[in-house]
Amino acid sequence: MGTKGKAADQLPIERESMRKNQKIDPRKMMEKAVEAMRQSVHEPRADKKASPLVGAVLCKPDGTVETACRGELRHGDHAEYTLLERKHRDERLDGSVLFTTLEPCAPGARKHPKLSCAERIALARIKEVWVGIEDPDPTVDRQGIKYLQDHGVELHLFDRDLQREIQQVNTAYIDQARERAAEAKQNKSSKLSALSKLEDAQTGVTLKDLSEEALASYREKAKMTETVGSAKFNRRLALQGFLRQSGRKLVPTGLGLLLFGKSPKDVIQQAGLKGTIDYPNGEHEIQDFDGPMILIPAAVERWLRDKLPNVIDRSQMTRGEKVILPFDSVRESVINALVHRDYDIAGATCHLVVTANAITVKSPGEPPLPVRLEQLQAFNAPMLNRNPKLQFVFGGTKLVEGRGLGMRTLGALAEKYNLPLPQYSFDGVYLHLIIYRHAKGAVQALGDKILRLLNEDERKSWEYLSTQTSVTRKQYAERMGFDVRKAQRHLKRFVKLNLLQKVGASSATEYKVRKA
C-alpha cells in the first residue's frame, strides 16, 4: 500500500461545521485550499521527479467543510482522491462543491484500473468545481477541465493572485511538466490529447514556407543561442510544438505556420488580422496583415504611428486636451486577439478598427470557459489560455503578459494614461475590446439616444465614471465637487439609464459601472 505520509492520529484533518444551507464564500475556500496545499507531504522519488503540491477543499450540502492535501494519508495519493475515496468513500456527495489548487488529472492519466480524479469527481455527482491552475503535464493539459465540463460540472477558476501563489509554490513541478509535454510531442507512441487541430503537421507545407525574418526575430527576442535553420534550432521548435516529424522530414504544424509562415492564410484562411481606419472626413483605409503572426504587432504599430494623430475629429475636443497614442495598449490587445481567439471558427479573422474616439479589436470566439465575460469586464479574469503554445511564444519574447488575457496590463495602461477603462462585449461571434483614445470617447460611445438625455454636468461626470469600475456616492461627490443631493440625483439617473448598477444598501452602497 506504500509508505504513509503521516500517522493517522497526526493527520492535519480540518472539519468545520457551518449552518445548513449557509452560502459558501468562494474566496475563503480558495484560500483554505491554498493553505492545505502548503501541507502537502513530499514524495521521495529515486528519479527526482518533482511532485505537485496540491490542496483540496470539499464543501458538502450539510454545511460540512473538509480539507486534504497530496500525500496526506499515503505518499503520492492525490488530494482529490484522499477527499473522495479515503475520507468519504461511503457517503453521498451529490451537490457538493470542490475546490482544488491544481487541475484534476484526466482520464488515461493514471495506470489502469485506477480512475482519474476528474472521473471520480463526476461519478461522485459533485455539482461545482473551482480549479486553481491548469496542469501542463501532457497527460492532463486542460483535458481534466474539459472532461468535467463535458459531464455537466460547473467550472470556475481561482482568483489571479492565488493562481500566481500556486504557480510560485509549484515552479519545479510546472517546469518539469512542460519539459515532459515538449518531449512527448516527439514521441509518436505517446497518447496525447490536442487542444487544437493546428497542433498537427500541415499537409503540403515545408520548412521553406517559413519566414527567415520571423524565425530570426523569435530567436533574438527569446534569447536563443542556436542558429536559425540549424538542426538544434529546428529541434527546439519541434519540442515547442511548431514542427512535427513526418517521415524523415520536419514539417511545420499549423501553429508553426501561423507564427512563422510567410503566408499562413494560404493554408489557414482564418489567419491574420484585418485593419481599418475610419477618418473623420468619411474616408477609409484598409490594411491586411497576412504574414507571420510574430511580426504582426510591430507591423500594426508601424502602420498606425503616423496615422493615429490624424484620426481625430477636432470638433469633439477641447482646447489643450491631449490625445493619447496608446501603442502599448494596442499591441497588448492585438496579441491577445491573435493568441486567444478560437481558431476552430473557420473564415473568421481578427479585426482592428480605428476611429476618432476609439480603437476596437475583434477576436473570433467567446472567452474560453470557465473564463466569463463579466470577469473580463471587471478586469479580474483568471489566467487560462485557449492556445497555450501561442501564448508561450509571445510570453517568452516579453511582448505580452506571461499568461492569460492580459487583464491586469490593459487596466493598468488605462490608469497610466488617465483614459476610460477598456470595454469588453460579445456579439455572438466576436469578442470586442474597445480602447478609448480620449475621455470624450467614452461619452460619445453612449450613443445619441442616451446623450440627448444627459445634461452637460452628467456628460462630464461620465468621463470620470468611465475610468472606474465602481464608486460610492461620497467618492463621486468629492471627485466632481457636487453636494450630496446633486451627486445622489446624478447616480440615480445613471442607474435608471442602465449605465450604473446599484449594489448594497445604506452606507455600504456602491455603484458599479456597466461595461456593455
Average pLDDT for residues 95-108, to the nearest whole number?
Answer: 93
- Give me the residue label for grid cell 514539417: 251
Average pLDDT for residues 364-384, to the nearest whole number?
Answer: 85
Average pLDDT for residues 352-378, to the nearest whole number?
Answer: 89
pLDDT of residue 43: 82
Task: For residue 44, give Cα distances in angstroms to 40, 99, 180.
Answer: 13, 26, 20
Cell of 434: 474597445
Q: Is the pLDDT of residue 164 over 60?
A: yes
Cis before 370 (ω within 30): yes
| Per-residue DSSP letter, 87 | I
pTM (two decimals)? 0.78
What is the average pLDDT score of the chain?
85
Taking residue 307's Cβ as centre, other Cβ atoms within 10 Å add up to 13
Is the pLDDT higher at 6 or at 111?
Answer: 111
Is the pLDDT higher at 27 or at 245?
Answer: 27
Average pLDDT for residues 15-30, to the nearest whole number?
Answer: 69
The span from the CA of 268 to the CA of 261, in Å, is: 10
Helices and strands counted in the chain (H then E): 19, 17
The span from the CA of 254 to the CA of 244, in Å, is: 10
Cell of 296: 504582426
Average pLDDT for residues 434-459, to the nearest whole number?
Answer: 89
pLDDT tens sequence across 241-286: 899 988 889 999 999 999 999 999 999 999 999 999 999 888 999 9
Task: For residue 353, give Cα distances in angstroms to 152, 284, 300, 304.
Answer: 38, 10, 12, 11
Please provide residue 170's backbone torsions phi and psi, each rounded to the nearest 5 degrees.
-105, 25
The span from the CA of 401 to the CA of 359, in Å, is: 20
Q: Is the pLDDT of residue 135 over 80?
A: yes
Q: Structural domains in the chain?
A: 8-180 (3.40.140.10), 197-260 (no CATH), 273-441 (3.30.565.60), 446-513 (1.10.10.10)
H/E segment holding residue 269:
none
Give the helix ranges, DSSP H, for 222-326.
231-239, 254-260, 296-305
Q: Is the pLDDT of residue 198 over 60?
A: yes
Return all residues near 147 (Cβ < 8 A) that are at least 6 apart: 106, 107, 116, 118, 119, 122
Q: Can you spell out the DSSP letters for 17-28?
A: E--TTPPP-HHH
Task: For residue 210, give Cα distances in angstroms to 137, 194, 231, 259, 347.
Answer: 29, 23, 15, 9, 22
pLDDT of residue 410: 74
Q: Is the pLDDT of residue 3 over 60?
A: no
Task: For residue 2, give Cα distances in angstroms to 5, 75, 76, 86, 133.
Answer: 9, 7, 9, 15, 28
Is the pLDDT higher at 189 or at 409?
Answer: 409
Q: Is the pLDDT of residue 202 over 70?
A: yes
pLDDT of residue 180: 81
Average pLDDT for residues 162-168, to the nearest whole number?
Answer: 94
Question: Residue 252, SS3?
Answer: strand
Across 15-19, 129-133, 236-240, least confident range: 15-19
Average pLDDT for residues 425-433, to the nearest whole number?
Answer: 94
Could you give the percent of the chain with pLDDT greater than 90?
53
Is the pLDDT higher at 141 or at 160?
Answer: 160
377 by Cβ neighbours in 10 Å (0-12 / 13-18 / 19+) ranks as buried
The span from the CA of 203 to the CA of 222, in Å, is: 28
| Per-residue DSSP letter, 338 | H
Across 16-20, 229-233, 434-438, 481-485, least confident range: 16-20
pLDDT tens sequence across 275-301: 999 998 889 999 999 999 999 999 999
Q: Is the pLDDT of residue 188 over 70?
A: no
H/E segment holding residue 202:
none
**Contact assessment for residue 362 and residue 350, using Cβ atoms and an 8 Å cutoff:** yes
Q: Could you tell me the maximum CA-CA distance found in the chain, to the nearest angstrom? A: 79
Is the pLDDT higher at 331 or at 318?
Answer: 331
pLDDT band at 451 (very low <50, low <70, confident <90, very high): very high
pLDDT of residue 116: 92
Is the pLDDT higher at 178 or at 275?
Answer: 275
47 by Cβ neighbours in 10 Å (0-12 / 13-18 / 19+) ranks as exposed
pLDDT of residue 319: 42
Cell of 471: 464608486
Q: What is the CA radius of gyration of the chain?
A: 26
Average pLDDT for residues 66-89, to the nearest whole number?
Answer: 93
pLDDT of residue 59: 96
Could you give the percent of the chain with pLDDT greater than 70?
85
pLDDT band at 399 (very low <50, low <70, confident <90, very high): low
pLDDT band at 8 (very low <50, low <70, confident <90, very high): very low
Q: Where are the beta strands (DSSP E) in 134-170?
A: 154-157
Q: How close are the terminal C-alpha atoms of the chain, in Å?
A: 56
pLDDT tens sequence across 337-361: 999 999 989 889 999 999 988 899 9
Is the pLDDT higher at 285 or at 185?
Answer: 285
pLDDT of residue 187: 59
| Per-residue DSSP letter, 349 | -
Q: Is the pLDDT of residue 394 over 70?
A: yes
* DSSP-assigned beta bridge partners for residue 58: 66, 98
pLDDT of residue 475: 93
- Nearest one of 329, 403, 390 to 359, comparing CA atoms: 329
Q: Is the pLDDT of residue 321 over 60?
A: no
Across 134-143, 163-172, 285-294, 400-409, least confident range: 400-409
pLDDT band at 18 (very low <50, low <70, confident <90, very high): very low
pLDDT of residue 417: 73
